[in-house]
Amino acid sequence: MSEIILEMDNIIKKFENQEVIKNISLSINKGEFLTLLGPSGCGKTTTLRIIAGFETPTSGSVLLEGKHVENKQPNERNVNTVFQNYALFPHMNVFDNIAYGLKIKKVNKVEIKKRVLEMLSLMQLEGYEKRKTDQLSGGQKQRVAIGRALINDPKILLLDEPLGALDLKLRKQMQVELKKLQKKLQITFVYVTHDQEEALNMSDRIAVMNEGIIEQIGSPEDIYERPKTKFVASFIGESNLIKAKIKKIDEENISVEFGGYEMNVDYKNYDNLKNKESYILIRPENIEYTSTKPQISKPPYGLKSTIKEHSYIGSIIKTTTELEGGQEIIVYDYDKKKDLIGIGSEVWVYFEPEDVVIVEEGE
Amino acid sequence: MRKKNDNILKSLTIVPISFWIFFFVAIPLLYIVFISFMQRGDDGSIVYIPTISNYTRMANSLYIKVFWDSIIVAFITTLFTLVFGYPFAYFATRIKKYKIIIMMLIMAPFLTNSLIRTYGWIVILSTEGMLNHIFLKIGIVKEPLKLLYSYGAVMIGMIYTMFPFMVLPLYNSIDKLDKAYIEAAKDLGASKWETFRTVTIPLTMPGIVAGCILVFIPSVGLFFIPDLMGGSNVMLIGNLIRNQFLEANDWPFGAALSIVMISLSLILILVYVKIIGKKLDAEVF
């Protein structure tokens, strides 16, 4: 069991009359890369600002290494932030920006110089110390911002959509670099993003947030392969969600009914027995279609549907088909060489029972 | 097509402004320079014989004191408006709901004549004025205080009149300051005071420089406030120049005094900007 560095208990945050955070409890392990993922307005940035100390929770407690910090000022807690637009001081050069925290702590000049130069080399910014911040590229600014925060040896580094302002190529490159840096330094990272790919790529754990609550927290595989709620399933990756009724649960199987069919699925993780609306989830990459009518015309072997649309998106072709009841099914086709079946043609979609996940409606 | 229209629009705006500056700023200024090198006739007219006597005349302790006093008064006015104006502007930007009302209150006095406002101060400060009346009633003083006709009274009048000129540019630059910089400083361990000293002040320096210039330059030459509130006890450069033109009928000397005043203000401003500019580049620690 790894050591817990930060614990948030029953955090509620209201702005005027609006409840931005409805109730969040979250434990962060020492040295992990945790991502708060969610659409804009879900409360992820507010959560980060509560950890940083820019916001005081309306109720609930925040424990940093076991000590209450919820009423402490940002300068009284040893966590540092990499801001969304970097917020590098425009009246200081790169050296002074990185040295800021040490100068405030009145570290002696020789020591400051040594540590700033070390940080510059870690951030691959050697030779840039005299540069003004407006003479830096986006990626360089980003590295200065990270260096300026890391030089204070924070217990936790908070990153608020730090790659949002970069172009796609640089963003991918920085994702790899950030992850490498985090592994090397063994510092706890709390990372806020709305980009699911970024979250899946970098995180040890992801907390998916929606409307002020955490819908699910788990490893990237958990979140993608075994989403618990409809929101998580549809927010992360593309998904086919079909309304379903759970008929029977036993040791071996769960039997579900959807669209007039009944089938057994292998999904064993279904621990929620509340009688809620349920859905079955099948990822588009786990579905295929064929124009030859299968011998058994029921799921998972074959479901009659009509091709609606093909769209070419580079590495794959995304095909939308429609089941008889009107439900749309998206299929990813990686084998682009095969001739496309024309729009309006009848096809049979099929999948493996073990690729079916059962999710619930959520709060 | 669009470009052509833009050019027409540009010349439509620039041409009148250039004319205005040429006829109402450049020509009068050149004329002042010109007559400052002329002589005064016995009847007070201008005699067009070149001379530098108007300038050499100023090398007199009496006139030097007038210049010195004017600069000190302008300096103190600038300092006080800055010290009061900065916190005022700072808090005005923080009260989001009422900031427009507060700034309107600051602007409101501009709607009345500044001469009338100065008379208002006389009503308050004079020996039989409101302030003395209240002091006598409460019993703080036995004899009415001589508040008016002193350097103190002139300072009050000047600070009052120049205050908006300081607050407006300060308000502007403080309002524009991105709060993320302040949060970044706090995040990096700076206390409120350290944040203010190392981030807020340097980043609002353009407003401070603009405010100081806008207050200092007019303060050197203002004459009606020293006239009305300083009386015969206060002689500043503005009054001296006015007297040359309106009472002594010595236009050449008045012109020479004006030229020296303008040059002196410009030199001081240049030095000030140089120092501040250097400070901005230097470390704030």
Nearest CA in chain A to B183: A54
Task: Tell me the C-alpha distance between B81 and B169, whole Å.
Answer: 12
pLDDT at A273 over 70: no
Name the DSSP letter for residue A266: -
What are the C-alpha distances in Å from A260 to residues A244, A245, A257, A290, A302?
10, 10, 7, 21, 14
As a whole number, the mean pLDDT across chain B is 89
Nearest CA in chain A to B182: A87
Task: Tell me the C-alpha distance between B272 and B74, whole Å.
Answer: 14
Least confident of A63-67, A215-219, B122-126, B178-182: B122-126
pLDDT at A234 over 70: yes
Least confident of A5-9, B44-48, B140-144, B218-222: B140-144
Question: Do residue B188 and residue A91 have CB atoms under 8 angstroms apart?
Answer: no
pLDDT tens digits, one per residue of A131-188: 999 999 999 999 999 999 999 999 999 999 999 888 999 999 999 999 999 999 999 9
Claim to verify: residue A162 and residue A123 sit in the same structural domain: yes
Considering CB atoms only, which of A73, A90, A104 is closest to B188?
A104
Claim to verify: residue A197 and residue A278 sit in the same structural domain: no
Q: Does A338 touch chain B (CB under 8 A)?
A: no
Claim to verify: residue A178 and residue A69 sit in the same structural domain: yes
In one-letter notation, the amino acid at residue A72 is: K
Claim to verify: residue A164 and residue A257 sit in the same structural domain: no
Q: Which residues contact A113 (CB under 8 A, 6 or more apart)?
A: none
Name the pLDDT band for A274 (thresholds 50, 70, 90): low
Nearest CA in chain A to B205: A91
Nearest CA in chain A to B199: A89
Name the pLDDT band for B11 (thresholds 50, 70, 90): confident
Task: Measure A94 CA to nearest chain B CA, in Å.
Answer: 12
pLDDT for the residue B188? 97
> Which has the closest alpha carbon to A209: A21, A15, A11, A62?
A21
More confident residue, A272 or A335: A335
Task: Tell me the C-alpha distance between B199 and B191, whole Å.
Answer: 11
Q: How many domains is chain B built from?
A: 1
pLDDT at B157 over 80: yes
pLDDT at B96 over 90: no
pLDDT for the residue B107? 83
Neighbours of B65 (CB within 10 A): 11
Name the pLDDT band for B100 (thresholds 50, 70, 90): confident
Name the DSSP letter for residue A156: E
> Which has the closest alpha carbon to A92: A131, A55, A121, A37?
A131
Contact between B201 and A66 under an 8 Å Cβ cutoff? The reply is: no
Count Cβ–Cβ pairs < 8 Å, chain A vs chain B.
Answer: 64
Task: Tell me the C-alpha distance between B269 and B240, whole Å.
Answer: 22
Instruction: Report chain B residues whose CB lies below 8 A from the CB of A90.
Output: 181, 203
- Rg (C-alpha) for chain B, rounded Å, is 23
pLDDT for the residue B239? 93
User: Cis ω on the peptide bond leading into residue A300 (within 30° of 0)?
Assistant: yes
In one-letter notation, the amino acid at residue B7 is: N
> How big is chain B, counted in residues?
285
In a domain, B15, yes or no: no
Q: What percent of chain A has pLDDT over 90?
A: 65
pLDDT for the residue A270? 56
Q: What percent of chain A has pLDDT over 70?
A: 95
Contact between A150 and A187 under an 8 Å Cβ cutoff? The reply is: yes
Q: Does A340 touch chain B (CB under 8 A)?
A: no
Question: Do residue B284 and residue A73 have CB atoms under 8 angstroms apart?
Answer: no
pLDDT for the residue A271? 59
In a domain, B42, yes or no: no
Q: Which helix (H) or strand (E) holds A26?
A: strand A18-29
Least confident of A56-70, A275-289, B187-201: A275-289
Claim to verify: residue A88 and residue A205 sit in the same structural domain: yes
Q: How many domains is chain A built from?
A: 2
Task: Measure A151 CA to nearest chain B CA, in Å.
Answer: 10
Considering CB atoms only, which of A87, A101, A103 is closest to B181?
A87
Name the pLDDT band for A201 (thresholds 50, 70, 90): very high
Most confident of B61-65, B233-237, B271-275: B61-65
Task: Single out the residue in A201, A225, A249 at which a domain terminates.
Answer: A225
Contact between B70 and B151 under an 8 Å Cβ cutoff? The reply is: no
Task: Measure A18 CA to nearest chain B CA, in Å.
Answer: 19
pLDDT at B284 over 70: no
For B255-281, give the secondary structure using H, E and C. HHHHHHHHHHHHHHHHHHHHHHHHHHH
Claim to verify: residue A80 and residue A194 sit in the same structural domain: yes
How far out from the chain centre does Cα B220 lie?
A: 7
More confident residue, B215 or A334: B215
pLDDT for the residue B82? 97
Mean pLDDT of A211-230: 93
Task: Single out the residue in A206, A225, A244 at which a domain terminates.
Answer: A225
Task: Measure B268 CA to nearest chain A CA, in Å.
Answer: 25
Task: Single out the residue in A225, A246, A275 at which a domain terminates.
Answer: A225
pLDDT for the residue B39? 93
pLDDT for the residue A74? 95
Which residues constitute the domain of residue A269? 230-360
In one-letter notation, the amino acid at residue B101 is: I
Claim to verify: residue A220 and residue A234 sit in the same structural domain: no
Name the pLDDT band for A276 (thresholds 50, 70, 90): low
Claim to verify: residue A42 and residue A152 sit in the same structural domain: yes
Contact between A86 and A142 under an 8 Å Cβ cutoff? The reply is: yes
pLDDT for the residue A181? 94
Claim to verify: residue A166 and residue A268 sit in the same structural domain: no
Query: Could you give the angle at which helices B237-246 and B61-94 cross, rounded to 10 degrees?
Result: 120
pLDDT tens digits, one per residue of B65-82: 999 999 999 999 999 999
Contact between A173 and A96 under an 8 Å Cβ cutoff? The reply is: no
pLDDT for the residue B4? 66
pLDDT at A267 over 70: no
pLDDT for the residue A140? 94
H-state helical runs in chain B: 2-21, 27-36, 53-56, 61-94, 99-107, 114-125, 130-138, 151-176, 179-187, 192-195, 201-203, 205-221, 224-225, 237-246, 251-281
pLDDT at B269 over 90: no
Mean pLDDT of B29-40: 95
Task: Tell me the C-alpha distance between B246 and B59, whole Å.
Answer: 23
> Which has the closest alpha carbon to A141: A165, A113, A105?
A165
Q: Could you give phi then psi for residue A225, rounded to 5 degrees?
A: -80, -35
In a domain, B27, yes or no: no
Mean pLDDT of A86-92: 94
Claim to verify: residue A197 and residue A147 sit in the same structural domain: yes
Task: Write the CATH number for A80.
Answer: 3.40.50.300
Question: Do residue A104 and residue B189 have CB atoms under 8 angstroms apart?
Answer: yes
Question: Do residue A80 and residue B285 have CB atoms under 8 angstroms apart?
Answer: no
Task: Write the CATH number for B85.
Answer: 1.10.3720.10
> Which has the closest alpha carbon to A341: A352, A353, A333?
A333
Name the pLDDT band for A13 (thresholds 50, 70, 90): very high
Candidates B179, B187, B200, B283, partner chain A, best to mutate (most A CBs within 10 A) = B187
Task: Measure B192 CA to nearest chain A CA, in Å.
Answer: 9
For A105-150, give the secondary structure using H, E and C. CCCCHHHHHHHHHHHHHHCCCCCCCCCEHHHCCHHHHHHHHHHHHH
pLDDT for the residue B285? 56
Least confident of A43-47, A250-254, B248-252: A250-254
H-state helical runs in chain A: 44-52, 94-104, 109-122, 138-150, 168-185, 196-202, 220-225, 230-235
In a domain, B138, yes or no: yes
In a domain, B60, yes or no: no
As a whole number, the mean pLDDT across chain A is 90
Claim to verify: residue A190 and residue A65 sit in the same structural domain: yes
Q: Which residues contact B148 (CB under 8 A, 6 or more apart)?
A: B122, B125, B126, B127, B129, B229, B231
Q: Could you give phi then psi for residue B93, rounded to 5 degrees?
A: -75, -25
Mean pLDDT of A71-100: 95
Task: Write the CATH number for A355.
Answer: 2.40.50.140
pLDDT for the residue B173? 94
pLDDT for the residue B129? 85
Claim to verify: residue A352 and residue A214 sit in the same structural domain: no
Which residues constitute the domain of residue B104? 67-281
Name the pLDDT band for A275 (thresholds 50, 70, 90): low
pLDDT at A327 over 90: no
